[in-house]
Amino acid sequence: MLRTALFASLCAVPLHAQDGGQLFTLYCSACHGPDGKGATGGAFPPLAGSPWVAGDATRAVKVVLHGLHGEVEVDGRTFNLEMPPQGGVLPDDQIAAILTHVRSSWGNKEQPVTPEFVKATRDATADRKTQWTAEELLKLHPLTATKPPIANLLSQVYQGEWQKLPDFSTLKPGNVEEEHSGKISIAKAGFNESFGMVWQGDLTAPEAGEFRFRLDADDGARVLLDDKEVVKVDGTGPMDGSRGKEGKIELTAGAHKLRVEYFEFHGQEGIALSWRGPGIPSWRNLSDKPPKVGPDPIPVEPQNGRAVVYRNFIAGTTPRAIGIGFPGGVNLAYSADNLTAELIWTGAFMDASRHWVERGQGDQPPAGENVVKLSGSPSLPKDARFRGYKLDPTGNPTFSVQIDKQILLDSWKPAGSAQSPAFLRTLSLKGQGSPVEFLLSEKLPVQKASDKEFGLGNDLSLQAEGATLENRDSKLVLKLAPGQTATLTYRWK
Ligand code: HEC
C-alpha cells in the first residue's frame, strides 16, 4: 500500500535525479526516518552515522538494489528485519542521488555516488534474485573501522574443565591478546571445549547514572566494573535467553574498568553482552553476538502478606505444576502429576513475562535462588489421584490426594525468617486403610544427624516430627499410618 501511494505521487510530480532529498523522503524516510535516525523511535536502523553507508558505496548500493534481511548490526545495535528491494522501482540516477544525499546529510561526510557507479553495481549483480544478508555483504565489503565499544581491550585464555566460574586469579593464563574489535568474542579463543577467557578494557559512560547490563553465556560468565560484580550467569547450560541475566550499576561519567570472565564446559559455546543507560537509549552490543533481548521481566510476587499462585509451565517440574510464592521469600512448585512439591526455592518467585499473553514457548525457571529439586518421580502408589488444593485466608495451600479410600493432606506454610528461610509442611492421612509410603526426596544426598534430623544435599536441613523417615539409597521415604500426622521443617542452611 505504501509503495502504491508513493508511486502515484511520483507519477504526479516527476522528480529528477538531483532531488536526492525528496527522493529520500519518498523512498526511504518511512522506515529510516526523515532525520535518518530510524523511524518509530529507532525501531528501524539509522542511516545517520551508519558505517553501512560510509566508505565503499557498493555495500549501500547493493542494499538499495536488492534489499536486506536477517540480523544486521548498525552502530552497536542489532536489528533483525526486512528491507524490500528498491532496484525495480528506482533507476540508477535516482539511487545515486538518494545515496549521495544520505552520505552527505545528518553529519555523514562521504563522497557522492555517480549513476555510472550504480549501473556498474547493478550489472555486476544482475543475477541476484534474493535479498542480501549482512554476513554476505560484510564479507564482500567490510565496514571501515569504527570506534570500538570497549577501549584498550585485552583477552587471556585459560585451559581447564569447570562447571562453575573458577577463581581466575589462581589460574595460569595464556598470552595476552589485543582485541582490536573492542568486542567480547570467543572467535579467536583457539578452543571450543574446556576453556575459560578473561577480558579487560575501558568502558566509557557517556553520562553519570544507572546503567543496565544484559549477559548471556554458554556456559557461565560474569561482568565486573571497577572490580564490582554487576551481573553473573553461572553453571552450565545453553545461551538461548532462558539463563540470561540483567544487572545494574551506578556509574560516573567517563571511563571505567571493565572485566569479563567466561568459561565453557562442553558442547555449544558463546557469550553475549549489551548495555544501556544515560546517553545510550537502546541496548548496545559489547560482544560480537547480541544477547537475546527478552521482554522486560514481570515479577509475580505475594501481595499484602498473602501467598500468590502461578499455574503455568515451570522448568524443573512436570507440565501440571502449581507454583506458590509465599510472603517471606520461600516458594514451591507442586506437581499435580507426581503429587508432591518437587521444587522449593528462596527469594523471588516467578517472572511471568514469557507467559503473560499466552502460554508462550518453553518452561519458566524459578526467578529466585537456592532452588532445591526434591524429587522428580511419583511420590505415591499408582492409584493415587490429585483432588485439588485449598488456600487458607493467608493463601497457604493444602494439596489433597486420594489413595483408595484415604485422603492425604499436604499443607505448606512459610516458617523461619528472611535470614533463615524455612518451610513448615504438614502431612496427614485421613480415613480407613493401610499405611502409606510417601517419597519425600530422591537423588539428594541424605546425611542423617539423628532419627529426626537430616541434611538434604548441601543446602537444606529437614526435621521431622510425628513420623519415621527412611533413607533408602538416597531416597527419603515417609511412612504414614491412617490417622497419623507428620510435621516437617525444611530449612536452608
Ligand atoms: C520498508 C522499510 C524500508 C525502506 C522503504 C527502506 N529501508 Fe533501508 N532498511 C530497512 C530495514 C528494516 C533494514 C535492516 C534490514 C535487516 O534487519 O536485515 C534496512 C537497512 C538499510 C541499510 C543498511 C543498514 C543501515 O542502517 O545502514 C541501508 C544502507 C539502507 N537500508 C538504505 C536504505 C535507503 C537508501 C532506502 C531508500 C532508497 C531504504 N533503505 C529504504 C527498511 C527499509
Q: Is 376 left (phi over 0), alpha (psi -120 to 50) or beta?
A: alpha
CA-CA distance, 441 to 475, in Å (whole number)?
A: 6
Question: What pLDDT shows up at residue 451?
Answer: 83
CA-CA distance, 450 to 455, in Å (whole number)?
A: 10
Write out the three cell numbers for 446.
Answer: 541424605
CA-CA distance, 291 to 280, in Å (whole number)?
A: 16
Please indicate whether residue 464, judged by its CB atom, sits closer than 6 Å to ligand 1: no
Question: What pLDDT shows up at residue 358?
Answer: 45
How much of the chain is helix, strand and coil, in % rounded to 5? 15, 40, 45
Please indicate whether residue 462, judged by its CB atom, sits closer than 6 Å to ligand 1: no
Do the Cβ atoms of 286 and 184 come closer than 8 Å? yes
Please indicate whether residue 74, judged by its CB atom, sits closer than 6 Å to ligand 1: yes
Q: What is the pLDDT along the chain (493 residues), one digit of tens a residue?
A: 344 444 444 444 445 556 999 999 999 999 999 999 998 777 899 999 899 999 899 999 999 999 999 999 998 888 999 999 999 999 999 999 999 999 999 989 899 999 999 999 999 999 999 999 999 999 999 887 677 899 999 999 999 999 999 999 999 999 899 998 899 999 989 998 999 999 999 999 999 999 999 999 999 999 999 999 999 999 999 998 888 999 999 999 999 999 999 999 999 999 999 999 998 877 889 999 888 765 666 778 888 889 999 888 888 898 899 999 998 889 999 999 999 999 999 988 988 766 554 444 567 888 888 899 999 999 998 899 999 999 998 899 999 999 999 999 999 999 988 788 999 999 999 999 999 999 999 999 899 888 889 999 888 999 999 988 898 888 999 999 999 999 999 999 8
Do the Cβ atoms of 341 and 412 come closer than 8 Å? yes
- In angstroms, how far is CA 328 from the centroid of its own chain? 27
Question: What pLDDT shows up at residue 280?
Answer: 84
Question: What pLDDT shows up at residue 362?
Answer: 66
How many angstroms does the Cα of residue 45 sit away from the middle of ligand 1?
7
Q: At what angle do helices 115-124 and 92-103 cross, to 10 degrees?
A: 120
3-class DSSP state for residue 342? strand
CA-CA distance, 216 to 274, in Å (whole number)?
A: 9
AA letter at 450: S
> 57: which DSSP letter?
T
From the number of C-beta atoms within 10 Å of its C-beta (0-12, 13-18, 19+), residue 319 rates as: exposed
CA-CA distance, 76 to 290, in Å (whole number)?
A: 9
Instruction: Give the nearest ligand 1 atom to 80 CA.
Output: 17
Instruction: Give the nearest ligand 1 atom to 86 CA.
Output: 38
Question: What pLDDT shows up at residue 403?
Answer: 95
Q: Ligand 1: which of 63, 81, 86, 137 to mutate, judged by most atoms within 8 Å of the beta carbon?
A: 63
Please indicate whether residue 132, judged by its CB atom, sits closer than 6 Å to ligand 1: no
3-class DSSP state for residue 52? helix
AA letter at 336: A
Question: What pLDDT shows up at residue 396?
Answer: 95
Please indicate whether residue 326, judged by its CB atom, sits closer than 6 Å to ligand 1: no
Write out the three cell numbers for 23.
Answer: 527522493
